[in-house]
């Protein structure tokens, strides 16, 4: 009797520990804000302004590899650095972003790092593009692959 109860406790404990929600290793890590703030609103406004430039750069890069152009949504952008290029209160700035382009129902095709120079106007100029990582597409999306990305 005691052994059968012990066995049931072990089986239930194992089942619960295996079914508990855990983050997959393949799942990208994104900082998800828990509440709104002035800083978050300014960052989101910046993403609204930069998104067309980000998508143009990403689509230009992936044009050689994919038949369908990927998109980058603002919530797949991580600001990794920024600086003023012409001193305190200068309005020529640099921003570096890590982005995750997707196709279809948010299928990640890779990771890329973009650096833009932003100045009054506003003028936005891509100054550096680095492809960091490629992800294989699932079998039912292979038809859009022209050639594998490097």
pLDDT per residue as tens digits for the range 87-121: 999 999 999 999 999 999 999 999 999 999 999 98
Burial state string for 30-52 with b = 16 or more CB within 10 A and e = fewer than 16? eeeeeeeeeeeeeeeebbeebbe
Tell whether the model's pLDDT for residue 34 goes beyond 90: no
Q: What is the mean pLDDT of residues 54-63?
A: 97
Looking at residue 2, its pLDDT comes to 58
Q: Tens digits of per-residue pLDDT, 112-131?
A: 999 999 999 889 999 999 99
d(CA 113, CA 107): 18
Residue 126 CA to its chain's centroid (Å): 18
Tell whether the model's pLDDT for residue 11 goes beyond 70: no
Lowest-pLDDT range, 20-29, 60-69, 75-84? 20-29
∠108-112-117 over CA atoms, to 5°?
135
For the chain, give the longest Cα–Cα distance. 80
Looking at residue 47, its pLDDT comes to 93
Q: pLDDT above 90 covers what percent of the chain?
A: 69
């Amino acid at each position: 009797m005691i052994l059968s109860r012990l066995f049931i406790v072990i089986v239930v404990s194992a089942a619960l520990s295996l079914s508990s929600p855990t983050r997959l290793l393949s799942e990208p890590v994104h900082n998800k804000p828990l509440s709104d703030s002035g800083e978050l609103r300014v960052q989101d406004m910046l993403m609204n302004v930069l998104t067309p430039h980000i998508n143009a750069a990403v689509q230009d890069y992936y044009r050689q590899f994919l038949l369908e152009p990927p998109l980058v949504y603002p919530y797949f952008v991580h600001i990794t650095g920024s600086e003023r290029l012409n001193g305190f209160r200068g309005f020529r700035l640099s921003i570096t972003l890590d982005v995750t382009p997707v196709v279809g129902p948010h299928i990640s095709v890779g990771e890329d790092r973009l650096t833009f120079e932003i100045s009054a106007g506003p003028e936005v100029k891509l100054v550096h593009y680095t492809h960091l990582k490629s992800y294989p597409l699932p079998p039912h999306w292979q038809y859009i692959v022209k050639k594998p990305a490097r």
